[in-house]
Amino acid sequence: MAKVVAVTGNEACANALRQVNPDVCGIYPITPQTDMMQRYASFISDGKVDTEAILVESEHSSMSACIGAAAAGGRVITATSSQGLALMWEMLFIAAGDRLPIIMPVVNRALSAPLNIHGDHSDAMGARDTGWIQIWSENAQEAYDNTIQAFRIGEHMDIRLPVMVCQDGFIISHSIERMEYLEDKEVKDFVGPYKNFLPLLDLEKPKSYGPLILTDLYHEYKRAQHEVMTKVSAVTLEVAKEFEKLSGRKYGLFETYRLEDAEVAIVILNSAAGTTKDVIDDFRAKGIKAGLLKPRLFRPFPYTEIADALKHTKAVCVMDRADSFGGYGPLFMEVSSALYQADSRPLMMNKIYGLGGRDYLPSHAAQVITELDSIAKSGSVKTVKEYIGVRE
Amino acid sequence: MKPKGWKDLPPGSVVLEGGSAAKFKTGSWRAFRPVWKEENCIHCLFCWIYCPDMSVTVKDGKRGEFNYDYCKGCGICALECPGKKGQKAIEMVEEGK
């Protein structure tokens, strides 16, 4: 039986991790994630889990400890945000290259400078190319559900890759929402016991992690790593199907909202999707056929599926809560790459919104849909990339 | 031997056997070669202990010749060698000389 609760995103994720009860957890505090690992540390102190906590001196060490523990043969977790994720950067590639299914909630926060602790997606977007699977979550319920599913996806014997589960800092991590917990036993049964794969502690079969591979084989190893990523979408859908049977909640590679017959569409990640859906309803009531696509799996990016879902529209705005200075926003780059391969494609624009936790308001969504409507009618885009909600 | 293709590789570049460093000969990295002078050797085996690879051979408790297949020429053995009466038993000589 599901239990209805009012909790923050951090509390929801901490409880998902408690229900899984992994072997090892690397812990280092950083706002806005701190509260999640603090709660998890309490679960350890209170004997609710028997996880070995490794208290480290930095996120670089945290990820290093996680890599060691995962290579040894443990089920391993950690969590981070912003500068912490940035500090982990070189170790992230090693976790993925060594095929270690470490599960890491990432509470998205802006990067310095200037110093800012609030929600934006610059941190996880910066880790886009590290070889980690990335799953994004709109609210506390999704962050909880995605965390549980991440174990099944990352630990799948055909995958064995680390997974980041993203949620918006403060907006989700610190806001209390209504959501449903699964029973501890249901989660335990769903995730199942940890299956080892090439553990270092199997002393009968000695092995080495992290060898030197030069020009003779490195290129082949990267090709093999890419191949694993191509299998992730199918596994994600398979796990989602099973999760739906358990929870009644349906997940895909992305969510669409009133998109099937839409003429204009917004593509947007995480919490801002909720606000956008409300505004779409307002415009639908006025007779403007607006819709939404919210990516869930960002790495690997489901190019074909997203192109298929959007190609019938006349105009699309991809909204990024992160910027690539001197380039387009990271989500825009992916969606336009996806649509370029389609036989027909909409006009496209890119709006940068909400950096450093700047509020994304219904009026912003309304401004974008109004502009999309006029682009659809005129057939031309004036400016491809623009900041919205910014003071002149 | 046909070189391995990407489908032949073990996942995660994990080396699935022990002691595989023996297959990786690094002697070609060397710029200075350690030369053993048996007459100054007291067979303390410091060189064997300190060698970071496996370039010093030992048989029946006695030091043998260098195995240059693994010697990168780091010179630690020559530095640590106490020698006999102030005369080193290992000397570093520039390769090519």
Distance CA A317, CA A348 (A): 6
- Select from A326, A327, A346 the least CA-distant residue to A336: A346
Tens digits of residue pLDDT in A293-323:
999 999 999 999 999 999 999 999 999 999 9
Tell me the residue range of the domain where B48 lies. 41-97
CB A366 within 8 A of CB A279: yes
CB A297 within 8 A of CB A253: yes
Reported confidence tier of residue A326, pLDDT bands at 50, 70, 90: very high
Chain A residues with beta carbon closer than 8 angstroms to that of B22 = none
- Contact status of A217 with chain B (Cβ, < 8 Å): yes
What residue of B is the nearest CA neighbor of A157? Answer: B11
- Contact status of A362 with chain B (Cβ, < 8 Å): no
CA dihedral sign of residues A265, A271, A276, A281:
positive
Asked if residue B21 belongs to a domain, the reply is: no
Do residue A97 and residue B12 have CB atoms under 8 angstroms apart? yes
Distance CA A281, CA A291 (A): 9
CB A320 within 8 A of CB A332: yes
Taking 70 as the threshold, does the pLDDT of residue B91 lie above it?
yes
- Residue of A209, A217, A227 lying closest to B14 (CB–CB): A209
Taking 80 as the threshold, does the pLDDT of residue B97 lie above it?
no
As a whole number, the mean pLDDT across chain A is 97
Taking 70 as the threshold, does the pLDDT of residue A52 lie above it?
yes
Asked if residue B16 belongs to a domain, the reply is: no
CB A51 within 8 A of CB A24: yes
**Contact map slice: B 3-42 vs A, CB within 8 A:** 3-7, 9-20
- Count of positions (residues) in chain A: 392
Neighbour-count burial for B80-93, b at 16+ CB within 10 Å, e otherwise = ebebeeeebbbbbe
Reported confidence tier of residue A1, pLDDT bands at 50, 70, 90: low
- Residue of B3, B9, B18 lying closest to A206 (CB–CB): B18
Do residue B7 and residue A205 have CB atoms under 8 angstroms apart? no
Distance CA A301, CA A35 (A): 30
- Fold match, A3-247 / A255-387: yes
As a whole number, the mean pLDDT across chain B is 94
Asked if residue B1 belongs to a domain, the reply is: no
Reported confidence tier of residue B66, pLDDT bands at 50, 70, 90: very high
pLDDT of residue A297: 98
Render chain B in DSSP notation, one character per residue: -PPPPGGGSPGGG-B-SSSGGGG---GGG-SEEEEE-GGG-----HHHHH-SSS-EEEETTEEEEE-TTT-----HHHHH---BTTB-SEEEEETT-
CB A335 within 8 A of CB A298: no
pLDDT of residue B15: 93
Asked if residue B60 belongs to a domain, the reply is: yes
* Min Cα separation B24/chain A (Å): 10
> What is A255-387's CATH number, 3.40.50.920, 3.40.640.10, 3.30.410.10, 3.20.20.10?
3.40.50.920
Predicted ipTM of the assembly: 0.86
Do residue A208 and residue B4 have CB atoms under 8 angstroms apart? no
pLDDT of residue A205: 94
Asked if residue B26 belongs to a domain, the reply is: no
pLDDT of residue A89: 98
Please compute the mean of the pLDDT values over residues A314-336 and round it to a whole number: 98
- Residue of A99, A208, A220 lying closest to B15 (CB–CB): A208
- Contact status of A99 with chain B (Cβ, < 8 Å): yes
For residue A303, the surrounding DSSP H or E stretch is helix A303-310
Distance CA A388, CA A361 (A): 10
**Number of domains chain B contains:** 1
What's the CATH code of the domain at B90? 3.30.70.20
* Min Cα separation B93/chain A (Å): 28
Asked if residue B28 belongs to a domain, the reply is: no
Tens digits of residue pLDDT in B3-41:
999 999 999 989 999 888 899 899 999 999 999 999 999
Asked if residue B22 belongs to a domain, the reply is: no
- Residue of B9, B15, B17 lying closest to A224 (CB–CB): B9
Tens digits of residue pLDDT in A348-389:
999 999 999 999 999 999 999 999 999 999 999 999 999 999
Determine if the peptide bond prior to A300 is cis (ω within 30°).
yes
pLDDT of residue B21: 86
Taking 70 as the threshold, does the pLDDT of residue A130 lie above it?
yes
Torsions phi, psi of A335, nearest 5? -70, -40
Q: For chain A, what are the domain ranges?
A: 3-247, 255-387
* Min Cα separation B2/chain A (Å): 12
What the block records as the tokens of A370 is 């109004």
> What is A3-247's CATH number, 3.90.550.10, 3.30.365.10, 3.40.50.970, 3.40.50.720?
3.40.50.970
Q: Three-state DSSP class for A175?
A: coil
Tens digits of residue pLDDT in A75-97:
999 999 999 999 999 999 999 99
Taking 80 as the threshold, does the pLDDT of residue B90 lie above it?
yes
Please compute the mean of the pLDDT values over residues A206-225 and round it to a whole number: 94
pLDDT of residue A195: 97
Q: Which residues pair with A350 in a beta bridge?
A: A318, A385
Taking 90 as the threshold, does the pLDDT of residue B93 lie above it?
yes
Asked if residue B54 belongs to a domain, the reply is: yes
Measured in whole angstroms, the distance separating CA A292 from the mean position of its chain's CA atoms is 18
Taking 90 as the threshold, does the pLDDT of residue A178 lie above it?
yes
